[in-house]
Amino acid sequence: MENNILIKGKFKIKTYNKGILVRETDWIENLVMAGANNGLGVITKRMTGDFTNDIEITTAEIGTGTTAPTLSDTNLETPVLTGILRANQSSTPSVVTLEFFIASDNLSNGTYAEFGLRAGTQLFTRALIEPTFTKSSNEDTSIEYAISLTNQ
């Protein structure tokens, strides 16, 4: 019996004004990296006892780059805000849910087109935000991210 495991990421962006939800994106699919030292490469190394790279998702970042993600990406194309810390986390046996919060003053008003997660210093996921996300004055941003692992 063959067992194939599929790992997928998706996220949605919520915008708040004075604590009230004013808009929310649909779920946006994300690409899990597959380099030797990031994403899937870190997971497989961990299974063999190689703990060189961290697997804990520690931060997120958002940027303006518009080039499509590839499995070998190690950075966002044009990061604008990096080091966004987790605000909340939970897990079930097959889904990890992370939430990142950005206060209005910490993110410049503008249009954003890419988002990624980091495990330590390594890029773990990257996606284009489609349609793009526009942040305006006095808007806080929350990004809910789900990583699922399923048997195929």
Q: What is the pLDDT of residues 96-117, one digit of tens each?
A: 999 999 999 999 999 999 999 9
Whole-number Å distance between alpha carbons of 32 and 61? 15
Q: Given a cut of 90, is residue 81 above it in pLDDT?
A: yes
- The string of pLDDT tens digits covering residues 24-69 is 999 999 988 888 888 888 888 888 898 888 889 999 999 999 999 9
pLDDT of residue 98: 97
pTM across the whole model: 0.91
- Spell out a b/e string for 48-85, using b for 16 or more CB atoms within 10 Å of the CB, else e: eeeeebeeebbbbbbbbbeeebeeebeebbeebeeebe
Rounded to a whole number of angstroms, the CA Rg of the chain reads: 16
